[in-house]
């Protein structure tokens, strides 16, 4: 009597493997981050993030056309202003870099979802994500500014806002001001689970957003905690979040899986700059097969429960998915 099951039968050839695979990727799954820099004639490669660039608005046309032609449905915008100050005033100015970029994109392209990151770290002279009081970020004062920033983005034409400042109550503040201004149908994609992580280093170079002193551990989450994220998500759902982001992604597959099983709300995992740059660096050194690793990482995120993946690999994935 045979006491084992031959599971290899259904892995015996590619046709059978394709027939029974139960995790799928498509270009509908991806959001592509873009860095928009104030100025003219700028297309500057980010040294810490190969094949990623800072663009001025006058250089966006060709890039957006390429993104759309590749089948990418959504972009997430980060602004890099010329001037910074203690209160990050340009973050909510009608003539701010993101506001102008949104107006340009929406005027010239009707078939792409424009999402804006809502934070202050790129705009403050101190690099923290809010208003300081005695060298500490003042939560309640900051959310007043965060809600103003979100409203300014939506006034410019943003389809969705994504607050990443990690202040308590920020989703409620944004939902309240948007509803008051009759933007009841604009979704909020909140960075509900955002860890104080070493994986953000390349991004902080790209966005010129590193704090000038201290760190962000008082408002971003401690990666040593295994339960805190449940409370964060529950709070954001009550406050009006429509989608929530888990960031970083790959080191937190357990969190993605648990959240997917517990909550009936779309999950966006943010495959962050450090995750991206490590793949690029290892590939350049010949240590890994970039295509295989990238696909494996993306399938892992989907298998864990991600509905949406924010990733700098999105343009590469447009090619890879055609080849598998």
How do the pLDDT tens digits run along the chain, 324 residues long? Answer: 677 888 898 999 989 998 989 899 999 999 999 999 999 999 999 999 999 999 999 999 999 999 999 999 999 999 999 999 889 999 999 999 999 999 999 999 999 999 999 999 999 999 899 999 988 899 999 999 999 999 999 999 999 999 999 999 999 999 999 999 999 999 999 999 999 999 999 998 888 888 888 888 889 999 999 999 999 999 999 999 999 999 999 999 999 999 999 999 999 999 999 999 999 999 999 999 999 999 999 999 999 999 999 999 999 999 999 998
> Residues 167, 121: contact at Cβ < 8 Å?
no
Cα 36 from chain centroid? 15
CA distance 162 to 93: 18
Judge whether 119 is annotated as a binding position.
yes
**Pairing between strand 53-55 and 43-45?**
antiparallel
Judge whether 104 is annotated as a binding position.
no
Q: What is the pLDDT, as a whole number, of residue 25?
A: 96
> Residues 145, 128: contact at Cβ < 8 Å?
no
Q: What is the pLDDT, as a whole number, of residue 1?
A: 64
> Residues 132, 126: contact at Cβ < 8 Å?
yes
Q: What is the pLDDT, as a whole number, of residue 23?
A: 93
Known catalytic residues? 194, 247
> Residues 311, 322: contact at Cβ < 8 Å?
no
Domain locations in the chain?
24-323
Judge whether 216 is annotated as a binding position.
yes
Burial-class residue 69 by CB neighbours within 10 Å (0-12, 13-18, 19+): exposed
> Residues 142, 186: contact at Cβ < 8 Å?
no
| CATH node for 24-323 | 3.20.20.70
Judge whether 312 is annotated as a binding position.
yes
Residue with structure tokens 């990443």? 164
Q: Structure tokens of 294?
A: 């990238």
Q: What is the pLDDT, as a whole number, of residue 208?
A: 82
Judge whether 273 is annotated as a binding position.
yes
SS (H, E, C) the chain: CCCCCCHHHHHCCHHHHHHHCCCCCCHHHEEEEEEEECCCCCEEECCCCCCCEEECHHHHHHHHHHHHHCCCCEEEEEEECCCCECCCHHHCCCCCHHHHHHHHHHHHCCCCEEEEEECCCCCECCCCCCCEECCEECHHHHHHHHHHHHHHHHHHCCCEEEECCCCCCHHHHHHHHHHHCCCCCCCEEEEEEEECCHHHHHHHHHCCCCCCCCCCCCCCECCCCCCHHHHHHHHHHHHCCCEEEEECCHHHHHHHHHHHHHCCCCEEEEECHHHHHHHHHHHHCCCCCHHHHHHHHHHHHHHHCCCEEEECCHHHHHHHHHHC
Residue 234 neighbours by CB under 8 Å, 6+ apart: none
Sign of CA dihedral 77, 82, 87, 93: negative
Q: What is the pLDDT, as a whole number, of residue 3?
A: 79
Q: What is the pLDDT, as a whole number, of residue 97?
A: 97
Q: How many CA atoms lie within 13 A of 313 on its CB side?
A: 25
Q: Structure tokens of 224?
A: 């040593």
């Amino acid at each position: 009597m045979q006491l084992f099951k031959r599971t290899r039968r259904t892995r015996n050839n590619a046709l059978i493997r394709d027939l029974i695979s139960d995790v799928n990727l498509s270009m509908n799954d991806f959001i592509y981050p873009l860095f928009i820099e104030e100025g003219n004639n700028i297309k500057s490669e980010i040294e810490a993030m190969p094949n990623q660039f800072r663009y001025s608005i006058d250089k966006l046309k060709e890039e957006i056309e390429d993104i759309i032609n590749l089948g990418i449905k959504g972009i997430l915008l980060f602004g890099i202003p010329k001037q910074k100050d203690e209160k990050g005033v340009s973050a909510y100015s009608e003539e701010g870099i993101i506001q102008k970029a949104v107006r340009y994109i929406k005027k010239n392209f009707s078939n792409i979802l424009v999402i804006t990151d809502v934070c202050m770290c790129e705009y403050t002279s101190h690099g923290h994500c809010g208003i300081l009081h005695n060298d500490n970020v003042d939560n309640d004062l900051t959310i007043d500014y965060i809600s103003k920033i979100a409203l300014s983005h939506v006034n410019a034409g943003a389809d969705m806002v994504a607050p990443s400042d990690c202040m308590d109550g920020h989703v409620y503040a944004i939902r309240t001001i948007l509803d008051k201004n009759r933007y009841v149908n604009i979704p909020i994609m909140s960075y509900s689970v955002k860890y104080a992580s070493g994986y953000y280093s390349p991004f902080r170079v790209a966005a010129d957003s590193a704090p000038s002193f201290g760190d962000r551990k008082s408002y971003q989450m401690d990666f040593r905690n295994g339960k805190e994220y449940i409370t964060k998500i529950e709070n954001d759902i009550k406050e009006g979040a429509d989608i929530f982001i888990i960031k970083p992604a790959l080191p937190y597959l357990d969190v993605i899986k648990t959240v997917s099983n517990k909550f009936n709300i779309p999950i966006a995992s943010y495959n962050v700059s450090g995750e991206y740059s490590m793949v690029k660096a290892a590939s350049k050194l010949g240590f890994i097969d970039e295509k295989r690793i990238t696909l494996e990482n993306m399938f892992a995120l989907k298998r864990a429960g991600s509905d949406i993946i924010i990733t700098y690999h999105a343009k590469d994935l447009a090619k890879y998915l055609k080849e598998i």
